[in-house]
């Protein structure tokens, strides 16, 4: 028994030990046990917790009988408990869903019997989300009340979850015994609402002869008329009660289909917003204005890219919103300067307004220019108003609530110069304004029934705040990236350190979600595959070809040889270089490369010189050299470094990963035909068969630990080649998938069928990493024609430029698909209006993933004010959304 320090009970203080009896069905594996974790909450606010191991004889039926010790000095108010599965050493493998807690008022004169069922996230989990409550204008964040109900000599306590009820409806019990109506619909017993979709009723069970059958019914709360019986078989009570017992029946949720919940929305980064009030970049004031347009068109959700700070050197490289320097800090560019305040000097204000006009005249957002203008304005404003703000109660409360990260972040921004107190205070002031403005926009969106959907980046900058403050959460000698594939032969190196997955990281991520939930009711999980496994690249590598999956199951020497490949470590794990390869890669530069970069060995083989033995060393040696010959030699040396068959695991000696794509490298040609066949067998086993179950178990541990009891609606970015384990895990955790028609998840198809989209999904036409609809249509003539004939079922030749009426048809098909959410980029929404849409579709793309120097500069070409004024377009949009029942 683990007892907290909050509450100690001494033998002389005990008045009576009440019995608590728990029973649950759960299949466990060898070495696993089911535990019940009980929290005792006293009337004076103190609490204690017990973690008790349940008993079993068959590994399926688990029972526990324990005593609740009641203190004279600390009388209990209520108890709360949940179940979890642990290994013998105490590692928690699985914990049941506890957003809606098992919480009950405690009467010290009674014994309580809990015949329970394990609770996973319910199928209708979205009904508990803040996104649902915001869109339906119902109460957010309700807690379950430990309601005090009448208890009898023998009591049955009915409890049921019914989040699907409509306004004005209630739940009642009707059953076979006369005390619960004798199946007479006019004699049902109405239940009491205790919060968060939960209903409770206590019934005197004296004289009941078991079994007793019952069902829940839905009634009209005002007229008390019967609305519907729940579906399925009758529920049955078989447990015999004794005097003084309370039997708590809390099993399946109300078995009644919920009304479908469907939203349409727009996806746009904050930096892409444009209004007459902003300074060359979208801001949180523009976000509030965007809510007005969403409401006018019947949209229920606005999806954003990450709003975290990315500032490192204040140049274009900082424009990527996923290269964040802090889990918590917001980007200074998004401050609404008008809302922040006006400078006293009219002359200075005139100058800034002129600079604003120049910035807004640009067709794109100039990151560097915006950074200069906003920084200068805020520093001047801080000099005038900062002291007053710093002395305000709201500011002090903000600093106190965020002290765990705010000071460290300010020091990072200030170059660790602690002497400049004013500089630190300025950064506090800046973050305070950002928080206030984003919170105001979020509150305004909620008041208007519009959901704000945020974005959770997978990584953090290697010089970011968390890396400095909590280095134990990361593997500093590795980098996260994307595995090479047919599109990106070298893969991608994102430069983020990989995570050390353990409880401290889970705690940090839960804090991160708690802060985000202040602003967002839904959240996109960037690169959800990273929670199953990540492509981990050594720090000394530049591209992704020398990476490996992490976590993974690397091969032992015995396993490699089991596939028929005799293992030769020197040959297979070090770059294989001979004269033929040198001539092939370097051509006219072969002799120069031999003399300057290689060391000759026996048997006409070579090694790279020590100073060129890694990709990072090669890149540094050729830094700044952009002539054709230098690039030729550099790229050839990079390829030589990666010319291996196996990559040794960095944490497990004598364990190896097949190098991705090694079959296309010269070293593969050095193998005999038998060795090639053996290598292909082990390669296919490693990449396509070996890990699926293992990765699924990792995600089932990580994602629930991070999500915790958050009420945000979680949506995955699950694109690309997915292991078989991804779909069932996301389904089990009730996380929405992402469905794109031109990126089908079923192999063998060029396009997905929209009508086959899962209900629990987000459908879209394009993402920020893709060409918007009109640009894709123009750049992909062959695919365009096949789409025109097969998906749109048109005859003849597809038009070269996408006409507005065809764009409207494509959008309508997406609106009518089964997906719960239909969120399209603003560029795609506007494509169906020939007057509103941009004249240059080539300027509408936000990011090109294959371009490491991409500038994230897209800005909507019309202002939000012009959008709101486009009444004809808005009416059409609203009609389309309403007709699709979104």
Specify the pLDDT at position 487: 74
How many angstroms from the chain centroid is the CA of residue 12? Answer: 51
From residue 601, give the alpha-carbon distance in Å to each of 604, 608, 609, 634, 636: 6, 10, 12, 22, 19
Distance CA 220, CA 222 (A): 6
Specify the pLDDT at position 11: 43
Distance CA 35, CA 1 (A): 11
Q: Is residue 17 scored above 80 in pLDDT?
A: no
Three-state DSSP class for 401?
A: helix
Tens digits of residue pLDDT in 591-629? 999 999 999 998 889 999 999 999 999 999 999 898 999
Tens digits of residue pLDDT in 774-795? 999 999 999 999 999 999 999 9
Question: Quick one: tokens of 27?
Answer: 């299949």
Distance CA 725, CA 692 (A): 5
Distance CA 644, CA 656 (A): 12
Specify the pLDDT at position 162: 97
**In sequence order, what are the residues at sequence separation of 6 or more whose Cβ sits closer than 8 angstroms to the Cβ of residue 718?**
528, 529, 726, 730, 737, 738
Specify the pLDDT at position 603: 85
> Are 194 and 157 spatial neighbours (Cβ–Cβ below 8 Å)?
no
Residues in the chain: 886
% of the chain beyond a pLDDT of 70: 97
Three-state DSSP class for 461?
A: coil
Q: Is residue 773 scored above 50 in pLDDT?
A: yes
Distance CA 884, CA 824 (A): 15
Specify the pLDDT at position 173: 98
Q: Is residue 120 scored above 80 in pLDDT?
A: yes
> Are 332 and 340 spatial neighbours (Cβ–Cβ below 8 Å)?
no
**Full DSSP string of 122-188:** PTTGGGGSHHHHHHHT--SS-----------SEEEEEEEE-TTPPTTEEEEEEESSGGGTTT-TTS-
- The H-or-E segment that residue 498 falls in is strand 498-499
Tens digits of residue pLDDT in 306-358? 999 999 999 999 999 999 999 999 999 999 999 999 999 999 999 999 999 99
pLDDT-wise least confident of 70-79, 91-100, 215-224: 70-79
Distance CA 24, CA 14 (A): 29
Specify the pLDDT at position 215: 97
Is omega for the bond preceding 233 within 30 degrees of 0, making it cis?
no
Question: Half-sphere exposure of residue 270, counting CA atoms within 13 Å on the CB side?
Answer: 30
Specify the pLDDT at position 68: 85
Instruction: Locate all alpha helices (DSSP H) within 525-576, ordered by sequence.
Output: 557-562, 569-573
**Averaged over 93-106, what is the pLDDT?**
94
Q: Is residue 14 scored above 60 in pLDDT?
A: no
Specify the pLDDT at position 5: 41
Tens digits of residue pLDDT in 797-856? 999 999 999 999 999 999 999 999 999 999 999 999 999 999 999 999 999 988 888 999
Residue with tokens 């965007």: 290
Distance CA 18, CA 220 (A): 39
Instruction: Name the pairing type of β-strands 598-600 and 263-267.
Output: unpaired
Specify the pLDDT at position 417: 61
Q: Is residue 4 scored above 50 in pLDDT?
A: no
Distance CA 451, CA 302 (A): 6
Tens digits of residue pLDDT in 791-813? 999 999 999 999 999 999 999 99
From residue 256, give the alpha-carbon distance in Å to each of 124, 165, 218, 229, 731: 11, 9, 9, 8, 20
pLDDT-wise least confident of 118-132, 135-149, 479-493: 479-493
- The H-or-E segment that residue 678 falls in is helix 673-688
The phi and psi torsions of 344 (rounded to 5 degrees) equal -70, -35
Confidence of residue 488 (pLDDT cuts 50, 70, 90): confident
**Averaged over 692-715, what is the pLDDT?**
95
Question: Rounded to a whole number, what is the largest CA-CA distance in the chain?
Answer: 100
Instruction: Locate all alpha helices (DSSP H) within 391-529, ordered by sequence.
Output: 393-401, 403-413, 421-447, 465-469, 503-516
Question: Quick one: tokens of 81?
Answer: 């408990």
Confidence of residue 383 (pLDDT cuts 50, 70, 90): very high
> Are 657 and 548 spatial neighbours (Cβ–Cβ below 8 Å)?
yes
Specify the pLDDT at position 6: 38
Q: At what angle do helices 692-707 and 503-516 cross, to 10 degrees?
A: 50
Confidence of residue 423 (pLDDT cuts 50, 70, 90): confident
Specify the pLDDT at position 416: 59
Distance CA 410, CA 422 (A): 11
Specify the pLDDT at position 419: 56
**Averaged over 529-542, what is the pLDDT?**
96
The per-residue b/e assignment along 174-197, b for 16 or more CB within 10 angstroms, e otherwise, is bbbbebbbeeeeeebbebebbbbb
Q: At what angle do helices 393-401 and 421-447 cross, to 10 degrees?
A: 100
The per-residue b/e assignment along 776-806, b for 16 or more CB within 10 angstroms, e otherwise, is bbeeeeeebeebbeebeeeeeebeeebebeb
> Are 275 and 250 spatial neighbours (Cβ–Cβ below 8 Å)?
no
Burial class of residue 155 (count of CB atoms within 10 Å of its CB; 0-12, 13-18, 19+) = buried
Distance CA 662, CA 10 (A): 68
Burial class of residue 578 (count of CB atoms within 10 Å of its CB; 0-12, 13-18, 19+) = middle
**CA torsion through residues 159, 160, 163, 164, sign:** negative
**Full DSSP string of 571-592:** HHHS---BHHHHHHHHGGGHHH
User: What is the 3-state composition of the chain as percent helix, strand, coil, each rounded to the nearest 5?
Assistant: 35, 20, 40
Residues facing residue 173 across a β-bridge = 189, 216
Distance CA 142, CA 862 (A): 40
Three-state DSSP class for 565?
A: coil
**Full DSSP string of 7-57:** ----GGGEEEEEEEEEEEE----TTEEEEEEEEEEETTS-EEEEEEE-EES
């Amino acid at each position: 028994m683990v007892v907290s320090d909050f509450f100690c009970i001494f033998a002389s203080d005990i008045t009576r030990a009440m019995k608590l009896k728990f029973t649950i069905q759960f299949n466990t594996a060898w070495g696993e046990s089911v535990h019940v974790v009980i929290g005792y909450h006293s009337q004076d606010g103190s609490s204690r917790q017990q973690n008790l191991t349940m008993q079993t004889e068959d590994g399926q039926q688990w029972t526990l009988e324990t005593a609740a010790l009641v203190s004279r000095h600390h009388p209990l108010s209520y108890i709360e408990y949940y179940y979890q599965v642990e290994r013998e050493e105490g590692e928690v493998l699985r914990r049941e869903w506890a957003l809606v807690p098992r919480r009950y008022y405690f009467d010290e004169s009674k014994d309580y019997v809990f015949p329970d069922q394990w609770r996973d996230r319910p199928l209708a989990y979205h009904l508990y989300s803040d996104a649902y409550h915001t869109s339906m204008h119902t109460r957010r964040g309700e807690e379950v009340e430990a309601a005090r109900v009448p208890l009898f000599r023998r009591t049955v306590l009915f409890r049921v979850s019914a989040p699907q009820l409509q306004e004005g409806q209630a739940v009642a019990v009707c059953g076979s015994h006369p005390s619960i109506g004798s199946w007479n619909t006019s004699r049902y017993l109405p239940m009491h609402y205790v919060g968060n979709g939960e209903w409770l009723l206590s019934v005197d069970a004296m004289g009941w002869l078991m079994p007793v059958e019952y069902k829940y019914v839905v009634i009209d709360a005002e007229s008390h008329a019967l609305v519907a019986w729940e579906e399925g078989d009758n529920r049955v009570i078989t447990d015999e009660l004794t005097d003084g017992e309370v039997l708590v029946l809390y099993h399946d949720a109300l078995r009644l289909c919920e009304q479908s919940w469907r939203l349409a929305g727009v996806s746009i980064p904050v930096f892409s917003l444009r209004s007459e009030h902003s300074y060359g970049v979208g801001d949180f004031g523009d976000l509030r204005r965007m809510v007005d347009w969403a409401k006018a068109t019947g949209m229920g959700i606005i999806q954003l890219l990450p709003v975290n700070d990315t500032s490192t050197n204040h140049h274009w490289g900082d424009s990527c919103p996923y290269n964040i320097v802090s889990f918590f800090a917001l980007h200074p560019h998004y401050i609404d300067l008008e809302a922040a305040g006006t400078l006293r000097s009219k002359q200075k204000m005139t100058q800034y307004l002129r600079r604003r006009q120049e910035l807004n005249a640009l067709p794109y957002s100039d990151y560097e220019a915006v950074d200069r203008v906003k920084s200068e304005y805020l520093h001047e404003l801080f000099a005038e108003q900062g002291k007053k703000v710093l002395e305000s109660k709201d500011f002090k409360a903000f600093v106190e609530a965020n002290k765990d990260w705010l000071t460290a972040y300010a020091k990072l921004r200030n170059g660790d110069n602690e002497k400049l107190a004013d500089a630190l205070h300025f950064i506090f002031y800046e973050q305070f304004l950002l928080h206030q403005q984003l919170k105001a926009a979020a509150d305004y969106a909620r008041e208007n029934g519009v959901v704000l959907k945020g974005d959770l980046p997978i990584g953090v900058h290697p010089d970011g705040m968390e890396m400095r403050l909590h280095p134990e959460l990361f593997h500093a000698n590795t980098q996260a990236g994307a595995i090479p594939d047919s599109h990106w032969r070298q893969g991608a190196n994102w430069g983020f350190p990989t995570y050390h997955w353990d409880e401290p990281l889970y705690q940090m991520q839960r804090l991160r979600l708690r802060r985000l939930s202040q602003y967002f009711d839904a959240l996109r999980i960037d690169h959800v595959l990273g929670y199953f496994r990540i492509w981990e690249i050594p720090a000394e590598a530049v591209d992704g070809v020398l990476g490996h999956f992490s976590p993974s199951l690397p091969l032992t020497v015995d396993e490699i040889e089991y596939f028929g490949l005799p293992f030769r470590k020197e040959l297979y794990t070090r770059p294989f270089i001979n004269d033929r390869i040198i001539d092939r890669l370097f051509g006219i530069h072969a002799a120069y490369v031999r003399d300057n970069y290689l060391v000759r060995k026996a048997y006409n083989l070579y090694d790279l010189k020590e100073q060129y033995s890694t990709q990072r060393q090669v890149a540094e040696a050729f830094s700044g050299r952009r002539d054709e010959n230098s690039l030729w030699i550099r790229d050839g040396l990079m390829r030589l470094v990666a010319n291996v068959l196996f990559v040794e695991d960095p944490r497990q000696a004598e364990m190896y990963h097949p190098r991705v794509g090694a079959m296309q490298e010269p070293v593969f040609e050095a193998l005999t035909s038998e060795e090639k066949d053996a290598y292909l067998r082990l390669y296919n086993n490693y990449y396509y068969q070996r890990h699926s179950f293992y990765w699924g178990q990792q995600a089932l541990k990580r994602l629930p630990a991070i999500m915790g009891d958050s009420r945000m609606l979680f949506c995955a970015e699950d694109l690309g080649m997915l292991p078989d384990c991804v779909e069932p895990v996301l389904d089990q955790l009730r996380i929405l998938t992402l469905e794109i028609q031109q990126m089908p998840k079923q192999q063998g198809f060029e396009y997905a069928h929209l009508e086959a989209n899962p209900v629990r999904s987000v459908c879209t036409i394009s993402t920020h990493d893709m060409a918007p609809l009109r640009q894709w249509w123009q750049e992909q003539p062959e695919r365009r024609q096949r789409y025109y004939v097969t998906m749109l079922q048109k005859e003849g030749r597809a038009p070269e430029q996408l006409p507005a009426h065809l764009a409207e048809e494509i959008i309508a098909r997406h609106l009518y698909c089964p997906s719960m959410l239909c969120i399209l980029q603003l560029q795609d929404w506007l494509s169906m209006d020939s007057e509103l849409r941009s004249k240059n579709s080539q300027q509408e793309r936000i990011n090109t993933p294959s371009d490491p120097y991409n500038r994230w500069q897209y800005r909507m070409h019309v202002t939000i004010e012009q959008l709101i004024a486009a009444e004809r377009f808005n009416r059409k949009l609203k009609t389309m959304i309403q007709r699709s029942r979104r």
